[in-house]
Amino acid sequence: MSETPQPITLTIDGHSVTVPAGATVFDAARDAGIDIPVLCHDAKLKPVGVCRICVVDVGGRVLAAACVRAAEDGMKVNTSSPLVERQRTMLTSLLMADHPTPCRRESSTGDCALEAMARHYNVPGKDAGTKGAVTAAMAGPPMILRRSSLWITRPASSATAASGPVMTSSPTRSSGAPARDTGSVSPSTWTPPWAHLPVSRAASAWPPAPPAR
């Protein structure tokens, strides 16, 4: 016959708290009326501890996430030590760096937990008016460098035709504004990889012909 697990008694911020075996530090603090901030926790869901805002000092080498750290008998927990407060301030600052202020939830219902925490720790938010500008700036392909000051042309004289297409520099953009070279390649020294091919082959070297069926 299995024995019934004994209750666990721990100390949170100097208060003795007794909880059933298997309870977390967050559960124990909540039962004692001690508030531990948290963003990713929902009582109806299994705790995952991803936001790390609920970190507390349990006397170990690193801070522990209260929502997933099991309470232990005799454990001493500090929920607001200077180290804990610095950690929460840093995490809040990182989260607010990409959070428009006020967000839609804060504007409509006024209960955004992240913005409430930012106000508590005096962490500034990002102006919601800059969101459109940032989105527009990131609309293009992230790994492609567009060099509108250069284009490929075919030599006009037959004497230079064998050299194939060459890269030339454009004095202006299509809008008429002066072009800006965004790279370090010199048009006068750049040699295309197809320069050694005859003109007829260079013209058809790219794009390649579709495979025969």
Pairing assessment for the beta strands 150-153 and 166-169 based on DSSP bridges: antiparallel
Whether residue 197 sits in one domain with residue 110: no
* Average pLDDT score over residue span 115-143: 65
Segment 55-88, tens digit of pLDDT: 999 998 999 999 999 999 999 999 999 999 999 9
Q: Report residue 44's pLDDT band, with 50, 70 and 90 as the boundaries.
A: confident
Q: Please state the rounded mean pLDDT for residues 32-59.
A: 90
Considering the chain, what percentage of its residues have pLDDT values greater than 90?
A: 43
Same domain assignment for residues 111 and 157? no
DSSP label of 78: B
Backbone torsions φ then ψ of 200, nearest 5 degrees: -65, -40
Question: Are residues 155 and 115 part of one domain?
Answer: no
Could you tell me where the beta strands, DSSP code E, fall in the chain?
A: 8-12, 15-19, 55-56, 64-65, 76-77, 100-101, 126-127, 150-153, 166-169
Residue 159 lies in a domain: yes
Q: Do 116 and 166 fall into the same domain?
A: no
Same-domain pairing of 106 and 158: no
62 and 166 both lie in a single domain = no
Question: What does the alpha-carbon distance between residue 17 and residue 11 come to, in Å, rounded to a whole number?
Answer: 6
The answer to whether residue 47 is domain-embedded is yes
Determine the pLDDT at residue 81.
95
124 plus 81 within the same structural domain: yes
CB atoms within 10 A of CB 29: 24
Are residues 104 and 65 part of one domain?
yes
Give the pairing type, strands 55-56 and 8-12.
Answer: unpaired
Is 138 among the domain residues?
Answer: no
User: Are 22 and 126 found together in one domain?
Assistant: yes
Residues 90 and 167 placed together within one structural domain of the fold: no
Number of domains in the chain: 2
Full residue range of the structural domain in which residue 165 is found? 150-177+186-204
The pLDDT assigned to 73 comes to: 95
What count of other Cβ atoms lies within 10 Å of the Cβ of residue 7?
A: 11
Q: In this predicted model, which residue has the larger pLDDT, 149 or 9?
A: 9
The answer to whether position 100 is within a domain reads yes
Confidence of residue 134 (pLDDT cuts 50, 70, 90): very low
Residue 44 sits in a domain whose CATH number is 3.10.20.740
